[in-house]
Amino acid sequence: MDVPKGKTLAHSATDLITIDIPERVAISIPVASADASTVVEVIFSCGRTCALSPASDVGLGKVLYSVPFRDTWLAAGVHTFYFTVCGRRVLSAEHPVHGGLNAALFSEALKRSIVFSSEAANPLELQPNNSAGIALVQRTESNSVCGGMSGQGHICLASDTREEFVQQERHSDTEPEAAFTDEVFQGMFNSDLCNRLDGHELPAGPEPALRFWPGGHQMKKRSGKCEDAFFTDAMSLGVADGVGEMRKYVAYGVDSAAYAHDLVTRASASLKPDGSAAHFADPKDRAAAAVEAAEREAKAFGASTLCVLSLEGNCLGAANLGDSGFLVLRKNARAMEIVARSREQQHCPNCPFQLLRLPPALVKKFKKMDQNKDSFTDCETYHCDLRLGDLVIMYTDGLSDNLYDHEILEVANRSLSPAFAELLGVSSQATPPERVAQALVVAAHERSVDPTAKTPWSGGCQNGKATGGKQDDITVVAAWVMVNASGPRGEGRRIGA
């Protein structure tokens, strides 16, 4: 195991464990500008000014000037600041920039906790996406891939009983903490992370151009093929859920799994720079155009929901048809909260809006079904402003049928955003998005196979008196919101099915 610089691990239970993680305010300046007469100072937003001393030659013709944070006599927490070099205002590449100022979260106790917690997490090794998948709970196949509302996207409740019950449960203040097995949290931080981050928020300021750091995870139901599909990219995301009821028409060439994969592949292609949806300036319109392109160009036969997200600057646009959807999670001073979401579109319980493409033989047999089918014009569009550090979750109903909001937040609060990790100076400790996606998928699966579990699915049955989850394919895409010009980068467009 690699030991972070400045960290000593014990060799036995009786050994002492020590960590030396010095915190400093620092800036690198060219050697040509650094001599005995060079005056380098840091000016904090609170008004405190401190002089920096040359610390070391960092190579590449630069000298590092720094001052230990403890010598600033400021309280631990988030601070914003800038530097002056011989009276000239500059920013440092040693610290992240928020709203035109350098920023850092100074807390040695928090930093030690994060470094040790991540070393002790015993993360589950992720394997490449492949046809065989990864064997997880009860021999169910699974695989991972790394990689305010306005307009029509206002928040509202559907009229059916299940939706009303689910919304009431999701906003209850008396919900107990979720109880999942340790497998859910493999590779995540312990529950103390949320308490240690209590009171800390990212600095406010104008949002820069943003992008996604995405990752996805899937787990198929016990029998049959996985009929979910998804795609991820630095600027767009999408999920589709093939309708399993169409399996009875397989003799006609109907394959909802293939249709879902066809839809996400074509939606993804339309969002490329030379794609048919790329010219729309409004990301909401761009997402809707991607849904239209997918429906128009698909060649496979089947039925499927489809949800597409597109990012422009700091504006998120979405188009959703059916009961797949998305959430935007944001850390407030205390913990993660849901700040935006899509709503389910249902004709009736367990009958979501869906795109449909039938072979000619079935069109003749079911003319009314083909004439009255849903289309891209029925999708709802959404718009919301994202912030650096937000976590976007996309999902099929295998997640939303089995986990309440407070359970999703319980899992998300075990993750460290790359924005907060950078603010602390421990960027390598950020929780990869595919780990978040995997944790949510495994949590949803545990609920789906528990006959005594209280779930959104069972809550909508028998006036909320039933128990148990809904066994289904489960797909989750998680994406951290990051500055477009820095941080971990994805490896291009990914398609999962």
- Encode pLDDT of 79-108 as tens digits: 999 999 999 999 999 999 998 999 999 998
SS3 285: helix
pTM of the model: 0.83
319 by Cβ neighbours in 10 Å (0-12 / 13-18 / 19+) ranks as buried
Of the two residues 494 and 324, the one the predictor is more confident about is 324
Lowest mean pLDDT among 147-156, 336-345, 401-410: 147-156
Give every CB contact of residue 45 below 8 A, 6+ residues apart in sequence.
79, 80, 81, 101
Determine the average pLDDT of the residues in 369-393.
92
Partners of residue 142 on adjacent β-strands:
134, 219
The letter for the amino acid at 2 is: D
pLDDT at 125 over 80: no
- For residues 100-129, give the mean pLDDT: 70
Location of each CATH 3.60.40.10 domain in the chain:
185-483
Instruction: Let me know how long the chain is.
Output: 497
Average pLDDT over residues 172-186: 71
Residues spanned by CATH 2.60.40.10 within the chain? 24-106
Least confident window among 167-176, 293-302, 370-379, 450-459: 167-176
Please state the rounded mean pLDDT for residues 41-69.
Answer: 89
Least confident of 5-9, 245-249, 292-296, 434-438: 5-9
Identify any residues that bridge with 241 across adjacent strands, giving them in sequence order.
228, 305
Distance CA 162, CA 167 (A): 9
Q: Say whether pLDDT at 479 is over 60.
A: yes
Q: Report which of 58, 388, 396, 401 is spatially closest to residue 256, judged by C-alpha positions.
A: 396
Residue 257 CA to residue 229 CA, distance in Å, equals 8
What would the mean pLDDT of 264-291 be, rounded to a whole number? 97
DSSP output for 289-331: HHHHHHHHH--SBEEEEEEEEEEETTEEEEEEESS-EEEEEEE
CA gap 178, 411 in Å, rounded: 9
> What does the pLDDT look like over 415-429, one tens digit per residue?
999 999 999 999 999
- Assigned superfamily of 24-106: Immunoglobulins (2.60.40.10)
Question: Does position 183 have pLDDT exceeding 70, yes or no?
Answer: yes
Residue 145 confidence (pLDDT)? 66
Q: What type of residue sits at position 420? A: F
Position 262 scores a pLDDT of 97
What single letter denotes the amino acid at residue 178?
A: A
CA distance 199 to 169: 27
What secondary structure does DSSP assign to 144-204, as a single string? EE----BGGG-----SSHHHHHHHHHHT-TTPPPP---GGGGTTS--THHHHHTTT--PPP
Tens of pLDDT along 200-258? 999 887 778 999 999 999 999 998 899 999 999 999 999 999 999 999 999 999 999 99
Residue 144 pLDDT level (bands cut at 50, 70, 90): low
d(CA 291, CA 266): 9
* pLDDT for position 66: 94
CB-based contacts of 78: which residues, under 8 Å, 6+ apart?
A: 103, 104, 105, 106, 200, 201, 202, 203, 423
Task: Fold for 185-483, please state it.
Answer: Phosphatase 2c; domain 1 (3.60.40)
Which of 253-267, 425-439, 463-477 has the weakest average pLDDT? 463-477
Q: What was the pLDDT predicted at 416?
A: 95
Average pLDDT, the chain: 83
Cβ neighbours of residue 208 closer than 8 Å, sequence gap 6 or more: 314, 388, 483, 484, 485
For residue 115, the 8-state DSSP code is H
Residue 244 and residue 227 in contact, taking contact as beta carbons nearer than 8 Å: yes
